[in-house]
């Protein structure tokens, strides 16, 4: 795919999330560096998640960790995702603007879902979420 990120209007927003030692067989919300849970979409705007990049600070030996964008704590069905595995220590996913807009007043976040084989559970995960703030439709 190409040109998903080609857009010349709106305001670009970059959000950084992380989690230390996520458990296997769990879905966990990531947080901002100081522990807060996300970005509140301002009145009159929608947040359009367009790029999600995730990485582990340790070599994953088994299993998967799937990152997804959340709106009010609920995973977006059509938002960008990224999957880490034994052979993939850094991953990225993109979506076009308007694929999964998040409405004003809703908290934008990221979750990670690990499967039962996920190891090591001592790995720390970081995510960069890039989106566009555009006037609400």
The whole-angstrom separation of Cα 35 and Cα 81 is: 22
Residue ranges, the chain, pLDDT below 50: none
The whole-angstrom separation of Cα 128 and Cα 92 is: 9
Q: What is the pLDDT of residue 10?
A: 86
Cα separations in angstroms, 16 against 62, 95, 112, 130: 25, 18, 14, 9
Q: What CA dihedral angle connects 70, 25, 16 and 34, to 10 degrees?
A: 110
Kindly report the pTM of this predicted structure: 0.93
The whole-angstrom separation of Cα 52 and Cα 44 is: 24
The whole-angstrom separation of Cα 56 and Cα 41 is: 28
Q: What is the pLDDT of residue 80?
A: 98
Q: What is the pLDDT of residue 6?
A: 63
The whole-angstrom separation of Cα 86 and Cα 30 is: 21
The whole-angstrom separation of Cα 130 and Cα 62 is: 28
Q: What is the pLDDT of residue 118?
A: 97
Coil/strand/helix, residue 34: coil
């Amino acid at each position: 795919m190409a040109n998903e990120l080609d857009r010349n209007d709106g305001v670009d927003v970059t959000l950084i999330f992380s989690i230390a030692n996520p458990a296997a067989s769990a879905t966990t919300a990531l947080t901002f560096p100081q522990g807060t849970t996300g970005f509140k979409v301002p009145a009159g705007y929608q947040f359009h998640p367009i790029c999600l990049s995730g990485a582990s600070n340790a070599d994953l030996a088994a299993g998967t960790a799937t990152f997804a964008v959340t709106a009010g704590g609920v995973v977006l069905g059509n938002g960008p995702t990224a999957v880490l595995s034994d052979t993939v220590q850094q991953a990225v996913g993109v979506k076009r603007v308007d694929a999964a807009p998040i409405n004003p007043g809703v908290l934008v976040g990221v979750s990670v879902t690990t499967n039962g084989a996920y190891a090591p559970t001592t790995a720390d995960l970081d995510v960069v979420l890039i989106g566009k703030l555009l006037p609400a439709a």
